[in-house]
Amino acid sequence: MSSPASIEANKRNAVRSTGPLSASGKQRASRNALKHGLSTSIRHRPDISSKIEALAVAITGANSIPRRLQAARGVAAAELELKRLQEFRLALIDVETAKIRAAANATGNHLAGGDDCVTQDTARAYQQAMPALAKLERYERRAWSSYRRAVHIYAVAAEE
């Protein structure tokens, strides 16, 4: 139970915490969760829902009971989410690698560097992408958790 003093302090702080006041600030704040789209479910995307259905049918077979097919949809959605995160991770590294190579080509470095330069560029790309890659961990943990849960549900449904 909160004390009366802490309730009053909370009310005073709440008066100052009103969020953005300008129209541009409100618009910017409304897009905070949509920076990369990884927090949105792939199930609601029309281009992905057909892939989920096709993978679910491949998992269960064409003549499956509805409960097993529904459980397979969960496995398929989790699998495709993990694939999307992996592709996002690789795209981040590719962008950083392209930046490094463009900078090297602009300065005249790496013209005859060979495999050593490619390895160094990749290592630098990983270093530069590391803050963004670390942020992906949250989404990957959630996706792996969903995957494990979906596989468990499918295993229970398959035993019936």
Q: What percent of the chain clears pLDDT 90, i.e. is strictly above it? A: 32
Please indicate, yes or no, whether the overall pTM of this predicted structure exceeds 0.75.
no
pLDDT digits (tens, 9 = 90+) for 72-118: 999 999 999 999 999 989 998 899 888 888 887 777 765 555 667 77
**Mean of the per-residue pLDDT values for the chain?**
84
Q: Which residue has the higher pLDDT, 25 or 108?
A: 25
CA proximity to 43, closest of 68, 67, 75, 65: 75
d(CA 75, CA 52): 9
Convert the pLDDT of each residue in 10-19 to its tens digit.
Answer: 888 887 777 7
